Each structure stands twice: as structure tokens, then as C-alpha cells.
Amino acid sequence: MRWSVRPAQYLALVLYLLFLGFPLLWLISASVKSSAELNSLSVNLIPSEWHWDNYGEALSRQGLLHSAFNSLLVALASTVLAILISVPAAYVLARLKGKLRIAGVTWILVSQVFPVVLVILPLFLVLRTLGLADSLVGLTLVHTTYILPFALWMLQGYVAAIPVDLEEAGAMDGANRFTVLRTIVFPLLAPGVVATAMFSFVSSWNEFFFALVLLQSPENYTLPITLTMFIGGEGKVALGPLAAGAVLAAIPSIAFFSLLRKKLTGGLMAGAVKG
């Protein structure tokens, strides 16, 4: 019975991976197809002719590299700011008791379900008053505010999982509060920080609505806004270059995840040993 279940599990895993990876495979296939093949009714994953010109057109046509640099600056800055704010705030939130903790958790939950469209106009007016409406600095602040609630929610869960007894043991050994946080809490919190950084970076990198409303100058466009430029005024879409640009846009997120995945695994192992 055990030997019959194992192949079924592997088969289910392979089918699940194909289900998740098929959109990416189809996007890569579309990025090297000609316009005639994309507009035809034939459905095939492997192109009949490989058109690598789509990537060259995507890079040169709409200033894709400059927009990618803008997105990278905003995503990295938003991630760093969100981590710096959410780490101490999550520790306080996880260790608080009573009504103040309930109020903090309630604020996080409400901010997650509150419709963004209701705050975009007041937000635009505030940023315009401050002179930050059409700037990457203003977009960075908005992205930080946008990803902060979920970052707090993630990190406070990690902090709550750290036993208070470890902090009390460090205090009994003569360590002050800062030393306890630096040598005990923060190392154990590293996996949560890495996971939160992944979420923050990807969320900021892919964000479209705030950038669409707040940015008017083409030199400040982020990558999602630039990709919409492949859609013509009459609704005509350059499918090949658009698919190629989308593939290029997905590379930084995949690379960022791959880079931090090893550190995340190492942090989890270190936390298990220290715990």
C-alpha cells in the first residue's frame, strides 16, 4: 500500500508544479513568437519560428531599463523602510497585553481590508501639497505605508513564537534590554525578517495602481506603468514585445527570492538550534 501511494504523491506534485509553472512557460513562449503567430488561432507552446527581436524591441522601445531602475530603487527603499519600522513595532505589539494590543491588531486588519480606491484621492492631494506627487520619493513613502501592515502582521507572529523565557534568562545573566534584543531576539527573528523582506520587495516591485495615479512624468515611470505603453491608443497590443518585457520584469523578483531563499533556510535552521 505504501509503494502505491508514493507514485501518486509524486504525480500530484508534478501536476501541481506544471499548473503553477504553465503561465510562466506560456509567457516565455509568447515572448519569442512572431506577431502573425500570436494573432493566429493556432495554440502551441513551442514557437514555429523563434523571434528574439521581441526582447530587443522591448528594451529599446519604451525605456524599459530606466523604468526597471526606478522600480528597483522604490522597491529596495520601501523594503528597507518597512523592515526598520516593523521590526521594533512588531516586537512591542507581540509583547503587549490588554486593550492596546487589541487596538494595534485591529488597525492592521482594518488597513488590510480597507479599499485603496477610497484613499487614493486624499493621498494624492497630500503628496501634491508636500511636493511629492510626481516623484519616486513620494511613491516610496506610499509603498512603505502600503506594505507596512502586512509586514507588521508577519513579524509579530514570529516574535510571539519566540519564548519569553529566553529573554528572562538573558536578563538574569546580567544582560540589559538592548543586549537581549541584539543577541537573542533579533537572531531568532532573522527568518521572519527575510520572509517579510521578500514579500515587501515583490509587493512594491509589482505595484501598479499607486504608480499609475501618482506618477505623471515618463522619466519617473516604474516598470508596470511602462509595460502598459505597449498597448496602443486604439487598443492594438504589441503582444511579442509586451510578453518579452513581462519576462524581463519577472527576473528581478525571481532572482531576489532565489538569493534570499538560502538565507531563509539557514535562518530557520539556526533558529531551531538556538531555540
* Per-residue pLDDT reduced to its tens digit, 22-66: 888 888 888 888 877 777 767 777 777 787 888 888 887 767 888
For residues 107 and 152, is the Cβ–Cβ distance under 8 A? no
Rounded Cα–Cα distance for residues 17 and 9 (Å) = 12
d(CA 193, CA 189): 6
Closest CA to 140 of 234, 76, 217: 76
Angstrom distance (rounded) from CA 115 to CA 119: 8
Asked whether residue 120 carries a pLDDT value surpassing 60, the answer given is yes
pLDDT digits (tens, 9 = 90+) for 173-225: 777 777 877 888 888 888 888 888 888 998 999 899 999 888 888 889 999 99
- SS3 of 80-126: the string is HHHHHHHHHHHHHHHHCCCHHHHHHHHHHHHHHHCCHHHCHHHHHHH
Q: What is the pLDDT of residue 75?
A: 93
Q: Distance (Å, rounded) from C-alpha 227 to C-alpha 237?
A: 11
Domain 63-274 architecture:
Orthogonal Bundle (1.10)
d(C-alpha 81, C-alpha 74), whole Å:
11
* Rounded distance between C-alpha atoms, residue 159 and residue 157, angstroms: 5
Residue 152, pLDDT above cutoff 80 = yes
Q: What is the pLDDT of residue 270?
A: 42
CA–CA distance, 127 with 140 (Å, rounded to integer): 12
Please tell me whether residue 231 adopts helix, strand or coil conformation.
strand
| Cβ-based neighbours of 205, under 8 Å, separated by 6 or more | 71, 72, 75, 223, 252, 253
Nearby residues of 207 by Cβ (< 8 Å), 6 or more positions away: 143, 146, 222, 224
- 3-state SS assignment for residue 8: helix
Give the start-to-end residue ranges of the domains of the chain: 63-274
Mean pLDDT of 98-109: 77
| Residue 101 neighbours by CB distance under 10 Å | 15
The pLDDT assigned to 275 comes to 40
Give the cell for residue 35: 506577431
Q: Please state the φ and ψ torsions of residue 231, each to the nearest 5 degrees.
A: -95, 120
**In this structure, are residues 122 and 53 in contact, taking their beta carbons and an 8 Å threshold?**
no
pLDDT at 166 exceeding the cut of 90: no
User: What pLDDT shows up at residue 252?
Assistant: 81
Distance between CA atoms of residues 62 and 228, nearest Å: 10
